Structures are given as C-alpha cells and as structure tokens.
C-alpha cells in the first residue's frame, strides 16, 4: 500500500475547510449529511473541527458492491427524515468519482427545499466524472487511482487506515 495523502495533510485540510464553514454558516441552522459508509471518519473529524453548532445525519447509497468499479446503478439504502426546509444542508462525501451517486443524492435533497445545499468532498477524482456535477469544495483532487483508507474501502477492508492509500496492483 502506497500512501497518497497522509494523516497530517488530511487534518490540515479539514481544519481549514471547517474554519471556513464555521465562518460562513455562523448563526444559521446547519445540517451535515454524511454519505455512508465511506464518509463516517471524515464526518466525525469534520464536525469536531467546526466551532459552530450543527446537526448530523446520514444517508447511505451504493453503486460498487464488492467491486472496485461502479455498477452505475445507484441505490439509496438509507434516507433521512428531517424537514430540510429548516436547514442549510452540507453533504459530506468521501469521494466523488463518476458523480452519479452524488448527483442522485443532491437531486433528492434539492426537491426537499433546503435553505441552501452544498457539497464538500474529501476526495475528487474528476478524470472519471460521468455526471454533470462538481462539488462545491474538494479537499483533495486525485488522479484516477483506486484508493482506500480514512473510511474508504475495498470489499469492506482498509477503512481503518489513518491515511489515503493506493491499492497495489
């Protein structure tokens, strides 16, 4: 396993981005929506870095199964039941690859009329983008590599790694 982004780089980018979110959303009703399962570590570290109150909930969607290639069939397996019209909503995503999953989720959430909707992703892989969607904030842009760690997995393994690593061929 080769380290692509180490723990310190992740921590610094989260702190910088959380400081900006804290400044921009101070005094506003903020709901952070994590996309399970890959984002759980990112969500935990991100909300701890905020210095403003927020609520947290999770959705789950999948298009990978046990493969390292997206099937293209996005399934929402866990939805949220909040009245989004009362919140500024920020989706926290682990990685934007083809963008299909995130496009489906943002479309669903926009239909619920949040006060505002933004997407912050830990990793952005624009070389594989198929959906017409760009995150509002990307902490890191990466090349077209299959990565694991910091919540991201391959067949449910490697989520515990404290860094982003590239799978050996």
Catalytic residues: 97
Token pair listed for 79? 């939805």
Q: 67: exposed, middle or buried (C-beta count within 10 Å: 0-12, 13-18, 19+)?
A: exposed
Identify the H or E element spanning 21: helix 7-25
Rounded-to-integer distance, Cα 61 and Cα 104, Å: 9
Let me know: does 161 contact 149? Beta carbons within 8 Å.
Answer: yes
Token pair listed for 8? 């310190």
Identify the H or E element spanning 18: helix 7-25
């Amino acid at each position: 396993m080769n380290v692509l982004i180490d723990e310190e780089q992740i921590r610094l980018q989260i702190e910088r981005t959380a400081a900006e979110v804290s400044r921009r959303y101070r005094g506003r009703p903020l709901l952070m929506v994590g996309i399970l399962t890959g984002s759980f570590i990112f969500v935990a570290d991100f909300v701890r870095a905020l210095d403003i109150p927020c609520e947290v909930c999770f959705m789950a969607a999948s298009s990978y199964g046990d493969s390292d290639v997206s099937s293209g069939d996005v399934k929402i397996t866990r939805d949220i039941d909040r009245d989004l019209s009362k919140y500024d909503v920020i989706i926290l995503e682990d990685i934007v690859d083809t963008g299909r999953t995130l496009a489906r989720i943002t479309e669903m959430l926009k239909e619920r009329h949040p006060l505002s909707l933004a997407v912050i992703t830990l990793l952005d892989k624009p070389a594989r983008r198929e959906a017409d969607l760009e995150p509002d904030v990307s902490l890191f842009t990466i090349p077209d590599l299959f990565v694991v760690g910091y919540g991201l997995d391959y067949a449910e393994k490697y989520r515990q790694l404290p860094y982003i690593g590239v799978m050996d061929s």
